[in-house]
Amino acid sequence: MGKRKMGKIKAKYRLFLMAVPFIIFVFAFSYVPLFGWIYGLFDYKPGLSLSEMDFVGLKNFAKIITDWSDLSRVLRNTLVMSGLGLLAAPIPMFFAILLNEIRRPLFKKFVQTTTTLPYFISWIIVFSLSFAIFSNDGLISNILKLMGSSETFTSILGKNNAVWIFQWFLGIWKSVGWNGIIYIAAIAGIDAELYEAGRVDGANRIQLIKNITIPSLYPTFFVLLLLSISNILNNGFEQYFVFFNPLVADKIEVLDYYVYKVGILINDYSYSTVLGMLKTILSIVLLFSANKLSKKLRGESIV
């Protein structure tokens, strides 16, 4: 299409055309897979067409009740890990505020780069580093031996009572820099005249942060918090897959890993489809519930 023809297209249509590839992407990867939910009503066998499968109705849904002892343990782990994640929700905001207060540009870029980099590191690499440091023959164990310690070092990777906190700290370390970028952008959008007016009134840096920066970040914080609540059942898969071992299996098996185990390891594809449906439906319910609560308490919502 030539420049003359492009000039005739109104701005709103240009924006729409720019959004079309992303709309197609979202539709292809978020909505087309929903047609696979129908396999939850059949006894799915790989290689067979839908007409060749046995229709079982709600039989796979009934497995949720019969398998409740395992499922309740998995849901407990999922909710605990997500709950710890919600407790850490303010950390990226305060990190962004502290980063914004750094006055040396080079040091500021160094801190931002080093804290954002872990987000792009594969969980496999994170596990390898953790194993090299915290295993029974790892770095900490060897340092203790060199210091003359006679106590046997027990790897935290195999401590059942420490797995939740350890995975929580790893999640914070890996995501705080990346999540802080959103707040850094929000801080950049705060009107500079507000800070000038505060300085004229005699406010120091702490008072400016308390009375201008933090209140200005509230909308961003609550939007991200609502999205986190809606994703409370989505802990992710890679982290818990690579750190899974028999010693901590009781505490680290979250819903995403359980769906993988049922579908891929046990080959019960229909039941894993039902579990995926349940997770999606509950996530939607949580989103609208949190949105309604926000509208009632704050007078604002995102939906």
In a domain, 45, yes or no: no
Compute the distance between CA of residue 227 and CA of residue 236 in angstroms, rounded to an integer.
15
pLDDT of 11: 67
pTM of the model: 0.83
Which pLDDT score, from 0 to 100, does residue 36 have?
A: 86
Q: Where are the alpha helices (DSSP H) in the chain?
A: 3-8, 11-26, 59-66, 68-87, 90-100, 105-116, 123-134, 139-146, 163-188, 192-200, 205-208, 214-230, 238-242, 249-252, 255-260, 269-298
Model confidence at 7: pLDDT above 60: no
CA distance 96 to 182: 9
Whether 102 maps to a domain, the answer reads yes
Residue 291's pLDDT is: 79
Give the percent of the chain with pLDDT over 90.
35
Number of domains in the chain: 1
CATH number, domain containing residue 293:
1.10.3720.10
48, pLDDT greater than 90: no
Segment 271-300 mean pLDDT: 83
Measure the CA–CA gap between 255 and 228, rounded to whole angstroms. 16
Least confident of 181-195, 267-281, 282-296: 282-296
Instruction: Please list, in sequence order, all residues whose beta carbon lies within 8 angstroms of the beta carbon of residue 28, skipping any fewer than 6 positions away.
Output: none
- Give the distance from CA 303 to its chain's centroid: 20
Please state, in angstroms and rounded to a whole number, the distance separating the CA atoms of residues 114 and 177.
8
The mean per-residue pLDDT over the stretch 157-186 comes to 91
Reported as a pLDDT band with limits 50, 70 and 90, residue 153 is low
Q: What is the mean pLDDT of residues 42-71?
A: 86
In a domain, 286, yes or no: yes
Q: Is 260 a member of any domain?
A: yes
Residue 14 domain flag: no
Containing domain of residue 236, as a range? 59-298
C-alpha distances in angstroms, 190 versus 184, 208, 216, 269?
10, 12, 7, 50
Average pLDDT for 282-299: 80
213 domain residue, yes or no? yes
d(CA 98, CA 88): 16
In a domain, 199, yes or no: yes
Q: What pLDDT does 10 receive?
A: 65
Residue 4 within any structural domain of the chain: no
Confidence class for position 266, pLDDT limits 50, 70, 90: confident
Residues 6+ apart with CB under 8 A from 261: 253
Q: What are phi and psi of 42, to 5 degrees?
A: -125, 165
Q: Which amino acid is at 39?
A: Y
